[in-house]
Structure 1
Amino acid sequence: MLLALLAALSLTPQPSEPFDSETRIEDAIAVVRPVAYRSRQVDWDALAEDMRHRVEGARDDVDMLPAWAALAHGLGDGHSFVQPTSEAVAAWRERYGDRPLMPDAPPRPRPSSRFMKRAEIEAHALTLGADHDAELITVPSVTGFGEKAAAYASRLFGAVADAGPRTCGYVLDLRGNTGGNIWPMLIGLSGLLGDGPQGRSEEADGLVEDYAALSEGSAVVLVEQGRGLTMMAIDNWRSIPSLAESPVALLLDDATASSGEGVAVAFAGRPLTRTFGIPTYGIASSNEGYPLADGTNVVVTTAMMMDRNGRTYPQGITPDQIVDDEGEDPVDVARAWLALQPDCK
């Protein structure tokens, strides 16, 4: 009889532990709160309550995705976001179709730029006068590291270094550059920037540091995590000291964003440099990914990009000279400015 009773009990479904969404929320906040740039401006109690409300009755990790989206959105920096695993995305769609993780979140503003699909580095001469040209170089976005990024940096450096003998200045077209990996861009433009520290940023605690230094066609890490590591290097670098003294015009628009803005920040305060166009998108900040226990990557804005004069740009970069595409052509306005510079007269 006892054996029969035990056998029956073993076949009876036992109650499972309830899914603990509260602990997951607490753990996620513990990961993000110490590193978020705007942490001091966030009402963390209210944000935690909003996260709880969005996942009330959650059964598993898939149901937690709205909480992670709310966490990134609630940081208020406009640049943080979540990257769920592909498996979690597929499971969410199977369960909820195309329902957004945060249906009530206002959509991010869409840039009006017509240049966002540009993918290739292009260069051609602009005539400034009888004896001088300016080199107009399109600087599109680039992502990742590896061979593709290094090839981009090499092509960009070549576009600068191999300009014709009449070249007295440069127009760098950053319109439509939505960002990605800033280092191929900076290495490619290192002739104009000169060697030295780059990637300066200010963290939430006020710490200011330069992430890496440009050195003879390479980017070498300066911060403790990886100090001395060469992130990327190009083979076609050569020293052309006169480039660092050339006048440079940068073209900006409302799709110049993130690392695209970072390039403009790197040139801010450089002598003989002027910006033209319309204000940039407004996310001139540095992001880092922080994985949660379920594999979701919360990409958090941890610092603001800072120029060589210690200025940050939380609202984006307003050009020195506003030029709307509907009126004058920014290229023509930049060319006219370059024609007035001493080296180009």
Structure 2
Amino acid sequence: MAGLDEGLYADSPEWDAAVTESLPDLYSAKNIPGTYRLLSSLTKLAGGAHSFFSTPADVAAWEQPYPSGHVPVPTVSYDGSVATVVVPGFSSAHQDEADLYLEAAAEIFTSERARSTCGWVVDVSANTGGDLRVMLVALSPLLDDGVVEVFRERDGSTSDVVVHANTGSWGDEVWGELPAETTKLPSRPIGIVQSGATASAGESVIIAFTGQEDVATFGSATAGFTTVNDGFELPDGAAVTLSFAVMGDREGNFYEGPLAPDREVDPADGSAQSAAREWVADHCPNS
């Protein structure tokens, strides 16, 4: 089971028993599709609820570009001196689409109005996940420089996600950067809006801000997919997406499950967004 045994939970007696029980059926399968059902089950067992198996058709569908003009990108609105940036989920195999996401963020944060804003609401209440690398780089102007997140693998080893100026990186891997003219914004209060739909990379955004000064969260508990995924392909184009680490904040707190907000307010009717704006306005400099 090379590959699946790298999963976050592939060291349990249940995992060993499942592998032993599955091997005869895997070896007797007449073709790779004949292994899909078992591989899907083993993937969940090895990596947990955030892990999944994809058929070649699933992979091909994911590799399709977004419909023309429909790439989800960050957007901003202003209410007096408080800005609200909506950070949508994003998942794409196409670099040009990731570039559009980052360019939209850069346009928001390099504007004159952004520099005069007294505080920010970061709304990830509809962010169901995707590429956490793109999202964290997009928000780098609002994040303190330094370690913003920590990943802990099954053996206890950890690695840092670092933001520096307009770039994000994980270990030796540079995740991306905003255009050079995008610089760090002045430190301002930040209210984060979350919901039960906030998942995976959306939850990673919340964790990246956890421990930063003048940050508070509003809404409801998140989906609880606070693990880090990687994957591998099978010869026929099927793929396994496997959780190999849990997410932790800059202070060394690790999360396996939903993230509770600092203040529970209904995000569905706009109450959480209003509460976040009010909190930010109350904590603005010279307020």
Question: TM-score scaled by structure 1?
Answer: 0.72
Structure 1 residues 120 and 191: CA distance shift in structure 2, 3 A: closer
Aligned to 1:125: 78
Structure 1 residues 122 and 241: CA distance shift in structure 2, 3 A: closer
| Alpha-carbon distance in 1 for matches of 2:13, 2:286 | 51
Q: Tell me which amino acid in the other structure corresponds to 2:241.
A: V
Aligned to 1:302: 244
| Alpha-carbon distance in 2 for matches of 1:58, 1:249 | 53
- Match for residue 214 of structure 2 among 272, 279, 285: 272
Query: 1:25-44 to 2 correspondence within 5 Å?
Result: 29-33=1-5, 35-41=6-12, 43-44=14-15
- Contact 1:338/1:344 (CA < 8 Å) preserved in 2? no
SS state at 2:118 partner: strand
1:56 positional shift: 9.3
1:289 positional shift: 0.6
- Contact 2:195/2:267 (CA < 8 Å) preserved in 1? no
SS state at 2:78 partner: strand
Identity %: 26
| Alpha-carbon distance in 2 for matches of 1:160, 1:40 | 44
Aligned to 1:311: 253
Aligned to 1:143: 91
2:132 is equivalent to residue 188 of structure 1: no
Structure 1 residues 126 and 42: CA distance shift in structure 2, 3 A: farther
The higher relative CO (CA closer than 8 Å, separation ≥ 6) is in 2
2:198 is equivalent to residue 247 of structure 1: no
1:330 positional shift: 0.9
1:318 positional shift: 0.6
Query: 1:273-288 to 2 correspondence within 5 Å?
Result: 273-288=215-230
| Alpha-carbon distance in 1 for matches of 2:3, 2:275 | 48
| Alpha-carbon distance in 1 for matches of 2:7, 2:78 | 44
Residue deviations 1:280-321, cap 9 Å, x none? 111111111133455532211000111001112211211110
- Contact 1:157/1:189 (CA < 8 Å) preserved in 2? no
Residue deviations 1:174-208, cap 9 Å, x none? 01111111122212211110333345200000001
Aligned to 2:41: 70
Query: 1:300-339 to 2 correspondence within 5 Å?
Result: 300-325=242-267, 329-339=271-281
Q: Tell me which amino acid in the other structure corresponds to 1:81.
A: F
Question: TM-score scaled by structure 2?
Answer: 0.85
- Contact 2:125/2:267 (CA < 8 Å) preserved in 1? no
Figure out how many residues of one structure are paired with residues of the other and give that number: 276
Q: Tell me which amino acid in the other structure corresponds to 2:85.
A: I
Structure 1 residues 88 and 149: CA distance shift in structure 2, 3 A: closer
Structure 1 residues 180 and 336: CA distance shift in structure 2, 3 A: same
Aligned to 2:125: 175
1:238 positional shift: 3.2
Structure 1 residues 42 and 266: CA distance shift in structure 2, 3 A: farther
Aligned to 1:61: 32
Query: 1:153-232 to 2 correspondence within 5 Å?
Result: 153-162=102-111, 164=113, 166-211=116-161, 213-222=162-171, 227=172, 230-232=174-176
Q: Tell me which amino acid in the other structure corresponds to 2:33.
A: V
Q: Tell me which amino acid in the other structure corresponds to 2:75.
A: E
Structure number with greater Rg is 1
| Alpha-carbon distance in 2 for matches of 1:263, 1:176 | 13
SS state at 1:147 partner: helix
Unmatched 5+ residue regions in structure 2? 61-69
Which region of structure 1 is more displaced relative to structure 2, 262-271 or 309-318? 309-318
SS state at 1:254 partner: coil
- Contact 2:188/2:284 (CA < 8 Å) preserved in 1? no
| Alpha-carbon distance in 2 for matches of 1:146, 1:88 | 17
Structure 1 residues 170 and 193: CA distance shift in structure 2, 3 A: same
Structure 1 residues 42 and 171: CA distance shift in structure 2, 3 A: farther
| Alpha-carbon distance in 2 for matches of 1:88, 1:125 | 39
1:124 positional shift: 1.2
- Contact 1:201/1:303 (CA < 8 Å) preserved in 2? yes
